[in-house]
Amino acid sequence: MEKSFNLGRFKAIDPAADQYERQLRRLIDDGADVTCIEKAVQGALKNLSGDGRRAFVIYGEPQSGKTEMMICLTAKLLDEGRRFIVHLLNDSVDLLGQNLGRFQDSGLAPSAQNYTEILDPSIDVKSRRYVVFSKKNAGDLEKLLEKIGQFKDIVVIDDEADFASPNSKINSAQRTRINQLIHDILGSTGDYIGVTATPARLDLNNTFDNDSRLWVNFPPHPMYTGQDIFFPVEWPSKNLSLPFQLELLPNRGDDPKYARRALFGFLVNVSYLNQYVNQIEANYSLLVHTSGKRIDHKSDWSVMQDTLASLTNSQSKKFDSYIKEIWTLAGERYPDVDPDRLTSYVVRNISRNAVIILNSDRDLTRKGRSATRPASLFTIVIGGNIVSRGVTFENLLSMFFTRDVKHKIQQDTYIQRARMFGARGKYLKFFELTIPNALYADWHRCFVFHKLALEAIREGKGSPVWLSDGRISAVSSSSIDQSTVDMNKGEMGFRLFEFDPGVDQRIQSLNSVSAKLEALQKELGESAFPEYLKRYILRTASPSVERTVAVHPSSSIEGYKDAEGLDKAAIERRRGLMGQSQTGQFPNALHHLKVFTNSAGKGRLFYKFAGSIQFIKNTK
């Protein structure tokens, strides 16, 4: 039977249909767990479902697979009929190439393009759908804006959104050039989705008027190893067993012997993995994180290069002592195997090394693949801030921090420096972090503060409150919108719950503070009193829980006078609920816990710290 040509059949085909489901199937076929991606995408689409423009943040852990999440989010937006989607990235050619390549490999339709590919005057950007990538620099954004003009219902997905996009001139009624250009691209109808592991700056800066009530959590995948592994809240504790190798240095850790020790540990671990664990030999990298000074990069390079040169020449003056040190370390670290075999592997293969210095984006572009995906058996990468954001190091087996930080450190900077986070599970117990003791303590506290803040907004527990102290700042002070941010709010509130008056009686009848704390957490549950907060209080309650923790009786908010900033239904007050009249009842306590209630039978737990920690909250 002869078939007749039917043009309508082909015109009815939508080449962009069911893209989201296709992307999920692609990941599932590769063995990935997509539940975390589905949760983030569904949360974003819920925000975008109403009328008017939206601006919000998707936040997750560093190195937790956000690129695949953004691919799936883009696919869903295309399914929903969005016609122009802009992806913004840090001003790095290498990162642009990496992310654009991954989007193109995913099979999205239309295929993602560099913005330069649509600049030709003959291209009508309103004629079809586009997924366009641009770096966050003024030159690129100006050209993109000139081409597309005011594009109705545009979507901007801003990767590493807390970098370059916030307005550091917020308090002088001006905009930075990049912030202004992104603002102009969004226009009055565009939707803004910031993606980052460190959202504090976006909140405190009111970047593009993003609404923290709409923020979406992107949970890590099951294979992820992150802050709970590398910076457990219980540290330091004699009973704590870390699942990786932590080598703490004296706070002046710039003696060359420490760098050599880190290198020797790296060589021994590679030898063990490739002889006793791996089916196929693998290349690994050691990341040496220096200060921002190039002279320090050169100094660290010299130590590594000279040590490797001595090991490759059995006639060198240092060969004998270095090999004995490696042999001794192999025996101490792996007593169940022959140290001769581990050391012999190092000697046979030591010439298969590469030492790479990354001083700039240009270096990262030129050396990118060999630096981030080790092409040599023993790859040593040396760099400062350039390796701190947006760069993923595959098979990263060791990190060595050479120097402590003399000045106050920013949470976002140090959280982004956690390049060891990611899917390290296959070789986690062989991963080694070598770092000055004080720097690890500061870094650990950064993550404790960060997690406490995010716990307040996960699952709708309240607005974020960011913590800082004498060593750690939440964000750069120039980025804080002083017109809406309270620098001394001093308390954190958690999720509303149905209040049972009997809870108060049961808890206050207990004799010890420890018992009250445990009972309160059990009565209220995880959402209203996060386990993480309880662990933090117990760890930092020095000299004892009984002396420094106060569990207050509950109070009703109904006695407070109605005034601007007071919301009795939500049990919130802009300037806080716990004042001197409450904390003064327990003058020796540092940690205060108190439930406030309303006439509707709801309750909310508040936590206040009376020490040197500053609580910072956006009160808009």
Q: Give the model confidence (pLDDT) of 563-613 as tens digits.
A: 777 889 988 887 788 888 888 899 888 899 999 999 999 999 998 887 777
pLDDT at 365: 43
Amino acid at 342: L
- Tokens representing 601 are 């039978």
> Phi/psi of residue 65, each to 5°?
95, 35
Length of the chain: 620
- Tokens representing 446 are 């950064």
How sure is the predictor about 362, in pLDDT bands with cuts at 50, 70 and 90? very low
Q: Hey, do 14-218 and 227-446 end up sharing a CATH topology, with the first three levels equal? A: yes
The mean pLDDT value for 476-501 works out to 79
Quick one: which H or E segment has residue 222? none
pLDDT greater than 70 at residue 559: yes
Q: pLDDT by residue (tens digit) across 3-53? A: 788 888 877 777 667 899 999 999 999 999 999 999 999 999 999 997 888
CA angle centred on 335, ends 333 and 340, rounded to 5°: 90
State the CATH class of domain 227-446: alpha beta
Among 274-283, 314-323, 376-385, where is mean pLDDT lowest? 376-385
pLDDT at 7: 84
- Tokens representing 122 are 């003959």
Q: What residue ranges in 405-530 does DSSP mark as E strands?
A: 409-410, 432-436, 465-468, 472-473, 485-486, 491-493, 497-498
The mean pLDDT value for 458-465 works out to 62
Q: pLDDT by residue (tens digit) across 91-121? A: 877 678 878 989 999 999 999 999 999 999 9
CA angle centred on 290, ends 286 and 293, rounded to 5°: 145
Amino acid at 452: L
Among 74-88, 100-114, 410-424, where is mean pLDDT lowest? 410-424
pLDDT greater than 60 at residue 367: no
- Tokens representing 58 are 């998707």
DSSP H stretches of helix in 63-172: 66-79, 93-105, 138-148
Can you count the helices (H) and strands (E) in the chain?
21, 26
- Tokens representing 3 are 């078939």
Domain boundaries of the chain, sorted by first residue: 14-218, 227-446, 484-618
The mean pLDDT value for 227-240 works out to 79
pLDDT greater than 70 at residue 407: no
Higher pLDDT, 426 or 563: 426
| Residue with the two structure tokens 């040496």 | 288
Q: What is the DSSP string of 404-426?
A: ---S-EEHHHHHHT-TT-BS-GG
Measured between alpha carbons, how far is 135 from 140 in angstroms, rounded to an integer?
7
Do 183 and 145 form a contact (C-beta atoms < 8 A)? no
| Residue with the two structure tokens 């050691």 | 286
Q: pLDDT by residue (tens digit) across 160-180? A: 999 999 999 999 989 999 999
The mean pLDDT value for 545-570 works out to 87
Do 506 and 519 form a contact (C-beta atoms < 8 A)? yes
Architecture of the domain spanning 14-218: 3-Layer(aba) Sandwich (3.40)
pLDDT at 238: 64
pTM: 0.83
pLDDT greater than 70 at residue 312: yes
Q: How many Å is the Cα radius of gyration of the chain?
A: 27
Measured between alpha carbons, how far is 189 from 193 in angstroms, rounded to an integer?
13
Q: Give the DSSP letter of residue 276.
A: I
pLDDT at 147: 95
pLDDT at 295: 47
Closest CA to 432 of 448, 420, 416: 420
Measured between alpha carbons, how far is 56 from 502 in angstroms, rounded to an integer?
39
Higher pLDDT, 349 or 588: 349
Among 78-87, 262-271, 300-309, 401-410, where is mean pLDDT lowest? 401-410
Pairing of strands 614-618, 485-486: antiparallel
Q: Give the DSSP letter of residue 225.
A: B
